Amino acid sequence: MKFLPVLFLAGALAGAAGTAAAQAPDSAAKPRYTLFQPTPRAQLRKLHPDRPGITESAFTIDPGHFQVEANLFRVRNGREQGVRRRELLFNQAVLKLGISEQTDLQLVVESYTIEKEWPQENAAPERNRGFGDLTLRAKRNIFGDDGESRGALAVATFVRVPTGGNVGNGGWEAGVSVPFTYKLAETSELSVQMRGNWEHDRDAGQHFISFMPAATVNHDLNKVLGVYAELMSNWDTRQALWRTTLNVGPEFTLSENCQLDLGAGLPLTRETYWEFFLGLTLRR
Protein backbone atom coordinates (compact mmCIF):
# COMPACT_ATOMS: atom_id res chain seq x y z
CA MET A 1 0.00 0.00 0.00
CA LYS A 2 3.06 2.31 0.16
CA PHE A 3 2.51 3.35 -3.45
CA LEU A 4 -0.93 4.91 -2.72
CA PRO A 5 0.31 8.42 -1.78
CA VAL A 6 2.50 8.54 -4.92
CA LEU A 7 -0.40 7.61 -7.20
CA PHE A 8 -2.69 9.97 -5.32
CA LEU A 9 -0.40 13.02 -5.77
CA ALA A 10 0.54 12.08 -9.32
CA GLY A 11 -3.13 11.89 -10.29
CA ALA A 12 -3.89 15.24 -8.70
CA LEU A 13 -0.96 16.97 -10.42
CA ALA A 14 -1.83 15.35 -13.75
CA GLY A 15 -5.38 16.67 -13.42
CA ALA A 16 -4.07 20.15 -12.74
CA ALA A 17 -1.77 19.96 -15.77
CA GLY A 18 -4.67 18.80 -17.95
CA THR A 19 -6.76 21.73 -16.76
CA ALA A 20 -4.05 24.22 -17.64
CA ALA A 21 -3.68 22.73 -21.10
CA ALA A 22 -7.41 22.75 -21.76
CA GLN A 23 -7.67 26.38 -20.71
CA ALA A 24 -4.78 27.62 -22.83
CA PRO A 25 -6.81 28.57 -25.96
CA ASP A 26 -9.03 30.87 -23.87
CA SER A 27 -6.16 32.64 -22.09
CA ALA A 28 -6.39 35.67 -24.36
CA ALA A 29 -10.04 36.20 -23.47
CA LYS A 30 -9.74 35.71 -19.72
CA PRO A 31 -6.69 35.54 -17.42
CA ARG A 32 -6.01 32.04 -16.11
CA TYR A 33 -4.37 31.88 -12.72
CA THR A 34 -2.07 29.15 -11.44
CA LEU A 35 -0.03 28.23 -8.38
CA PHE A 36 2.78 30.49 -9.63
CA GLN A 37 0.45 33.21 -10.94
CA PRO A 38 -1.96 33.60 -8.00
CA THR A 39 -5.46 35.00 -8.24
CA PRO A 40 -5.40 38.69 -7.24
CA ARG A 41 -6.82 39.15 -3.75
CA ALA A 42 -9.51 41.49 -5.11
CA GLN A 43 -10.81 38.61 -7.27
CA LEU A 44 -10.90 35.85 -4.64
CA ARG A 45 -14.06 33.75 -4.56
CA LYS A 46 -16.34 33.71 -1.53
CA LEU A 47 -14.87 31.78 1.39
CA HIS A 48 -16.29 28.23 1.35
CA PRO A 49 -14.71 26.06 4.08
CA ASP A 50 -15.34 22.32 4.18
CA ARG A 51 -16.00 22.58 7.90
CA PRO A 52 -17.73 22.57 10.34
CA GLY A 53 -19.59 19.38 9.40
CA ILE A 54 -18.90 16.24 7.39
CA THR A 55 -20.48 17.70 4.24
CA GLU A 56 -17.75 19.31 2.15
CA SER A 57 -18.03 22.36 -0.05
CA ALA A 58 -18.03 21.77 -3.82
CA PHE A 59 -15.64 24.72 -4.22
CA THR A 60 -11.84 24.74 -4.29
CA ILE A 61 -9.20 27.22 -3.13
CA ASP A 62 -8.16 29.97 -5.55
CA PRO A 63 -4.83 29.10 -7.21
CA GLY A 64 -1.75 30.40 -5.46
CA HIS A 65 -3.54 30.84 -2.13
CA PHE A 66 -3.35 28.97 1.16
CA GLN A 67 -6.14 28.13 3.62
CA VAL A 68 -6.17 26.62 7.10
CA GLU A 69 -9.32 25.01 8.52
CA ALA A 70 -8.74 23.93 12.11
CA ASN A 71 -10.64 22.16 14.84
CA LEU A 72 -9.21 24.24 17.66
CA PHE A 73 -10.93 21.89 20.10
CA ARG A 74 -13.28 18.92 19.69
CA VAL A 75 -14.60 16.45 22.22
CA ARG A 76 -16.33 13.20 21.22
CA ASN A 77 -18.01 10.86 23.71
CA GLY A 78 -20.06 7.73 23.14
CA ARG A 79 -20.12 3.99 22.57
CA GLU A 80 -18.95 1.92 19.65
CA GLN A 81 -19.53 -1.83 19.50
CA GLY A 82 -20.49 -1.69 23.18
CA VAL A 83 -17.27 -0.02 24.34
CA ARG A 84 -17.39 3.47 25.84
CA ARG A 85 -14.89 5.92 24.33
CA ARG A 86 -13.93 9.56 24.70
CA GLU A 87 -11.68 11.63 22.42
CA LEU A 88 -10.22 15.10 22.89
CA LEU A 89 -8.73 16.62 19.73
CA PHE A 90 -6.63 19.77 19.69
CA ASN A 91 -5.74 21.72 16.54
CA GLN A 92 -6.82 19.08 14.04
CA ALA A 93 -6.01 21.17 10.97
CA VAL A 94 -6.63 20.93 7.23
CA LEU A 95 -3.95 22.77 5.22
CA LYS A 96 -5.07 23.64 1.68
CA LEU A 97 -3.19 24.95 -1.34
CA GLY A 98 -4.84 26.01 -4.61
CA ILE A 99 -2.85 24.76 -7.60
CA SER A 100 -5.27 25.59 -10.42
CA GLU A 101 -8.63 27.28 -10.83
CA GLN A 102 -10.42 23.97 -10.19
CA THR A 103 -7.98 21.88 -8.13
CA ASP A 104 -6.49 22.09 -4.66
CA LEU A 105 -4.26 19.82 -2.59
CA GLN A 106 -4.76 19.31 1.12
CA LEU A 107 -2.93 17.89 4.13
CA VAL A 108 -4.88 16.91 7.26
CA VAL A 109 -2.78 17.04 10.45
CA GLU A 110 -4.08 15.52 13.69
CA SER A 111 -1.82 17.59 15.93
CA TYR A 112 -2.68 16.17 19.34
CA THR A 113 -5.28 13.64 20.47
CA ILE A 114 -6.16 12.21 23.87
CA GLU A 115 -8.15 8.95 23.82
CA LYS A 116 -9.82 7.15 26.72
CA GLU A 117 -11.52 3.78 26.49
CA TRP A 118 -13.47 1.83 29.12
CA PRO A 119 -13.47 -1.88 28.15
CA GLN A 120 -15.29 -2.55 31.44
CA GLU A 121 -17.69 -0.13 33.10
CA ASN A 122 -16.14 -0.15 36.58
CA ALA A 123 -12.51 -0.44 35.48
CA ALA A 124 -9.98 2.36 35.03
CA PRO A 125 -9.86 3.68 31.44
CA GLU A 126 -7.11 2.87 28.98
CA ARG A 127 -5.38 6.06 27.79
CA ASN A 128 -3.52 6.95 24.61
CA ARG A 129 -2.27 10.38 23.58
CA GLY A 130 -0.05 12.00 20.99
CA PHE A 131 0.25 12.92 17.31
CA GLY A 132 -2.32 11.28 15.04
CA ASP A 133 -2.47 10.15 11.41
CA LEU A 134 -1.67 12.28 8.35
CA THR A 135 -4.13 12.46 5.46
CA LEU A 136 -3.34 13.50 1.87
CA ARG A 137 -6.31 14.90 -0.06
CA ALA A 138 -7.09 16.39 -3.45
CA LYS A 139 -10.29 18.08 -4.60
CA ARG A 140 -11.32 18.68 -8.21
CA ASN A 141 -14.26 20.95 -9.05
CA ILE A 142 -16.28 19.64 -12.01
CA PHE A 143 -18.41 22.75 -12.56
CA GLY A 144 -19.60 25.86 -10.74
CA ASP A 145 -16.30 27.04 -9.24
CA ASP A 146 -16.68 30.38 -11.03
CA GLY A 147 -19.71 31.25 -8.89
CA GLU A 148 -21.79 32.21 -11.92
CA SER A 149 -24.11 29.19 -11.72
CA ARG A 150 -26.33 28.23 -8.80
CA GLY A 151 -24.92 24.72 -8.55
CA ALA A 152 -21.39 23.35 -8.09
CA LEU A 153 -20.07 19.78 -8.14
CA ALA A 154 -16.71 18.36 -7.07
CA VAL A 155 -14.87 15.08 -6.45
CA ALA A 156 -12.39 14.66 -3.60
CA THR A 157 -10.10 11.73 -2.81
CA PHE A 158 -7.91 10.96 0.17
CA VAL A 159 -5.26 8.58 1.48
CA ARG A 160 -4.64 8.34 5.23
CA VAL A 161 -1.12 7.42 6.36
CA PRO A 162 -0.88 5.53 9.69
CA THR A 163 1.56 7.84 11.48
CA GLY A 164 -0.31 7.99 14.80
CA GLY A 165 0.63 4.71 16.44
CA ASN A 166 -1.84 3.87 19.21
CA VAL A 167 -3.66 7.18 18.69
CA GLY A 168 -4.28 6.72 14.97
CA ASN A 169 -6.43 4.20 13.11
CA GLY A 170 -3.49 1.80 12.79
CA GLY A 171 -3.60 1.17 9.04
CA TRP A 172 -3.70 2.69 5.57
CA GLU A 173 -7.09 4.11 4.57
CA ALA A 174 -8.55 5.70 1.46
CA GLY A 175 -11.81 7.12 0.18
CA VAL A 176 -13.70 9.35 -2.22
CA SER A 177 -16.44 11.94 -1.71
CA VAL A 178 -18.74 13.72 -4.17
CA PRO A 179 -20.12 17.02 -2.80
CA PHE A 180 -22.76 19.13 -4.55
CA THR A 181 -23.66 22.69 -3.47
CA TYR A 182 -26.77 24.55 -4.60
CA LYS A 183 -27.55 28.21 -3.94
CA LEU A 184 -31.11 28.31 -2.63
CA ALA A 185 -31.15 32.10 -2.22
CA GLU A 186 -28.72 34.97 -1.83
CA THR A 187 -28.20 34.05 1.83
CA SER A 188 -28.83 30.29 1.81
CA GLU A 189 -27.05 27.21 0.43
CA LEU A 190 -27.78 23.49 0.38
CA SER A 191 -24.89 21.03 0.23
CA VAL A 192 -25.25 17.27 -0.17
CA GLN A 193 -22.54 14.64 -0.28
CA MET A 194 -21.96 10.93 -0.75
CA ARG A 195 -18.73 9.57 0.68
CA GLY A 196 -17.28 6.08 0.58
CA ASN A 197 -14.33 4.96 2.73
CA TRP A 198 -11.98 2.00 2.96
CA GLU A 199 -11.23 2.12 6.69
CA HIS A 200 -9.13 0.20 9.19
CA ASP A 201 -10.39 -1.18 12.50
CA ARG A 202 -7.41 -0.93 14.84
CA ASP A 203 -8.86 -3.29 17.45
CA ALA A 204 -9.89 -5.99 14.98
CA GLY A 205 -6.82 -5.51 12.77
CA GLN A 206 -8.82 -5.54 9.53
CA HIS A 207 -10.29 -3.20 6.92
CA PHE A 208 -13.95 -2.50 6.24
CA ILE A 209 -16.10 -0.37 3.91
CA SER A 210 -18.23 2.54 5.11
CA PHE A 211 -20.66 4.96 3.45
CA MET A 212 -21.41 8.45 4.78
CA PRO A 213 -24.26 10.39 3.12
CA ALA A 214 -24.76 13.91 4.48
CA ALA A 215 -26.70 17.11 3.79
CA THR A 216 -26.22 20.63 5.18
CA VAL A 217 -28.21 23.88 5.00
CA ASN A 218 -26.37 27.16 5.67
CA HIS A 219 -28.22 30.44 6.17
CA ASP A 220 -26.73 33.90 6.73
CA LEU A 221 -28.77 35.96 9.19
CA ASN A 222 -26.61 39.03 8.48
CA LYS A 223 -23.10 39.84 7.26
CA VAL A 224 -21.51 38.42 10.42
CA LEU A 225 -23.78 35.71 11.82
CA GLY A 226 -24.94 32.57 10.08
CA VAL A 227 -26.38 29.24 11.19
CA TYR A 228 -26.15 25.70 9.84
CA ALA A 229 -27.84 22.35 10.33
CA GLU A 230 -26.40 19.07 9.04
CA LEU A 231 -27.90 15.60 8.95
CA MET A 232 -25.32 12.87 8.40
CA SER A 233 -25.31 9.07 8.63
CA ASN A 234 -22.66 6.39 8.71
CA TRP A 235 -23.06 2.73 7.67
CA ASP A 236 -20.29 0.16 7.54
CA THR A 237 -19.83 -3.51 6.78
CA ARG A 238 -18.81 -4.44 10.34
CA GLN A 239 -22.28 -4.22 11.88
CA ALA A 240 -24.55 -3.17 8.99
CA LEU A 241 -25.89 -0.48 11.33
CA TRP A 242 -26.88 3.10 10.49
CA ARG A 243 -25.58 5.78 12.86
CA THR A 244 -27.17 9.22 12.40
CA THR A 245 -26.16 12.60 13.82
CA LEU A 246 -27.62 16.12 13.69
CA ASN A 247 -24.94 18.84 13.72
CA VAL A 248 -26.07 22.39 14.51
CA GLY A 249 -24.43 25.66 15.44
CA PRO A 250 -23.55 29.25 14.50
CA GLU A 251 -20.91 30.57 12.09
CA PHE A 252 -19.25 33.98 12.46
CA THR A 253 -17.80 35.70 9.38
CA LEU A 254 -15.09 37.91 10.90
CA SER A 255 -13.76 39.04 7.51
CA GLU A 256 -13.69 37.91 3.88
CA ASN A 257 -10.82 35.58 4.80
CA CYS A 258 -11.70 34.50 8.35
CA GLN A 259 -14.56 32.45 9.77
CA LEU A 260 -15.19 31.13 13.29
CA ASP A 261 -17.62 28.30 13.97
CA LEU A 262 -18.80 26.23 16.89
CA GLY A 263 -21.45 23.60 17.33
CA ALA A 264 -22.66 20.28 18.64
CA GLY A 265 -23.22 16.85 17.16
CA LEU A 266 -26.43 15.37 18.56
CA PRO A 267 -26.84 11.59 18.20
CA LEU A 268 -30.15 10.42 16.75
CA THR A 269 -29.40 6.68 16.88
CA ARG A 270 -27.65 4.29 19.25
CA GLU A 271 -23.87 3.81 19.23
CA THR A 272 -23.44 7.37 17.98
CA TYR A 273 -21.08 9.94 19.50
CA TRP A 274 -21.93 13.23 21.18
CA GLU A 275 -19.65 15.97 19.86
CA PHE A 276 -18.83 19.57 20.76
CA PHE A 277 -16.33 21.64 18.80
CA LEU A 278 -14.80 25.06 18.10
CA GLY A 279 -13.22 25.79 14.72
CA LEU A 280 -11.45 28.51 12.76
CA THR A 281 -10.82 29.10 9.03
CA LEU A 282 -8.12 31.47 7.74
CA ARG A 283 -7.24 32.23 4.10
CA ARG A 284 -4.08 33.88 2.82
The answer on pLDDT for 15 being more than 50 is no
What is the SS3 assignment for 95? strand
Lowest mean pLDDT among 8-17, 42-51, 210-219: 8-17
Count of beta carbons in the 10 Å neighbourhood of residue 13: 15
Q: How far apart are the C-alpha atoms of 55 and 174, rounded to whole Å?
A: 17
Looking at every residue in the chain, the average pLDDT score rounds to 87
Per-residue pLDDT, 31: 66
> What's the residue count for the chain?
284
Q: pLDDT tens digits for 105-125?
A: 999 999 999 988 887 767 777
Per-residue pLDDT, 30: 54
The answer on pLDDT for 32 being more than 90 is no
Q: How far apart are the C-alpha atoms of 84 and 208, rounded to whole Å?
A: 21
Exposed, middle or buried: residue 203 (CB in 10 Å: 0-12, 13-18, 19+)?
exposed
Angle 74-79-82 from CA coordinates, rounded to 5°: 160
Per-residue pLDDT, 185: 92
The answer on pLDDT for 42 being more than 80 is yes
Going by pLDDT thresholds of 50, 70 and 90, the confidence category of residue 84 is confident
